[in-house]
Structure 1
Amino acid sequence: MFVTAVALMIVAVLLAGPVPIWLATADWPARSPAVALVLWQAIALAGGLSMIGSLLSFGLIPFGENLFEGIRSLAGHLVTGTLPAGTSFGSVLLLCAALILGSHLLLNLAATFSRAGRQHRRHRHLIGLLSDPLPSHSGTRVIEHDAPVAYCLPGATRSATVLSRGLLQLLNADQLRAVIAHERAHLLQQHHLVLLAFKSWHSALPWFPIANRAENAVALLVEMLADDQARRVVDDRTLATAIALVGSAHEVDPLGTDVELADGPDHPFDLVTPRVRRLITPPAPLTPSAVLFVAAGAAALLLLPTLLLSLA
Structure 2
Amino acid sequence: MFATAVILGVLAVLLAGPVPIWLSAAAWPARSPAVALVLWQSIALAGGLSMIGSLLSFGLIPFGVNLFDGIRSLGGHLVAGTLPDEPSFVAVLMLCSAMILGSHLLLNLAATFSRAERQHRRHRHLIGLLSQPLADHSGTRVIEHDAPVAYCLPGATRSATVLSRGLLQLLDAEQLRAVIAHEHAHLIQKHHLVLLAFKSWHSALPWFPIANRAENAVALLVEMLADDQARRVVDDRTLATAIALVGSAHQVDPLGTDVELADGPDHPFDLVTPRVRRLISPPPPLPAEAVLAVAASAATLLLLPTLLLLLG
TM range (shorter): over 0.9
Alpha-carbon separation, structure 1, partners of 2:91 and 2:218: 36
2:109 is equivalent to residue 143 of structure 1: no
Q: Identity of paired residues, percent?
A: 84
> CA-atom RMSD, angstroms?
1.6
Q: How far did residue 181 of structure 1 move?
A: 0.1
Q: How far did residue 257 of structure 1 move?
A: 1.5
Residue 103 of structure 2 corresponds to which residue in structure 1?
Answer: 103
SS in 2 for 1:275: helix
SS in 2 for 1:196: helix
Is the CA contact (8 Å cut-off) linking 2:201 and 2:211 kept in structure 1? Answer: yes
AA aligned to 2:259 is T
Alpha-carbon separation, structure 1, partners of 2:149 and 2:86: 63
Which one is further off, 244-253 or 67-76?
244-253
Residue 302 of structure 1 corresponds to which residue in structure 2?
Answer: 302
Alpha-carbon displacement from aligned partner over 1:241-292 (angstroms, at most 9, x marks no partner): 0000000014689x991479747xxx61100000000000000000000000
The alignment of Structure 1 onto Structure 2 pairs a total of residues equal to 308
Alpha-carbon separation, structure 1, partners of 2:203 and 2:260: 16
Residue 290 of structure 1 corresponds to which residue in structure 2?
Answer: 290
Q: 1:90 to 1:46 in 2, by over 3 A?
A: same
Alpha-carbon separation, structure 2, partners of 1:35 and 1:7: 26
Q: Tell me the TM-score normalized by structure 1.
A: 0.96
> Where do 5+ consecutive residues of structure 1 fail to align?
none
AA aligned to 2:19 is V
Q: How far did residue 86 of structure 1 move?
A: 1.8
Residue 19 of structure 1 corresponds to which residue in structure 2?
Answer: 19
Is the CA contact (8 Å cut-off) linking 2:21 and 2:210 kept in structure 1? Answer: yes
SS in 1 for 2:9: helix
2:274 is equivalent to residue 257 of structure 1: no
Q: 1:252 to 1:83 in 2, by over 3 A?
A: farther
2:195 is equivalent to residue 159 of structure 1: no
Alpha-carbon displacement from aligned partner over 1:7-31 (angstroms, at most 9, x marks no partner): 0000000000000000000000000
Alpha-carbon separation, structure 1, partners of 2:311 and 2:231: 47
Is the CA contact (8 Å cut-off) linking 1:151 and 1:252 kept in structure 2? Answer: no
SS in 2 for 1:135: coil
Q: Tell me the TM-score normalized by structure 2.
A: 0.96
2:178 is equivalent to residue 178 of structure 1: yes
Q: Which runs of 4+ in 1 moved over 4 A?
A: 258-263
Residue 38 of structure 1 corresponds to which residue in structure 2?
Answer: 38
Alpha-carbon displacement from aligned partner over 1:137-185 (angstroms, at most 9, x marks no partner): 1100000010000000001110000000000000000000000000000
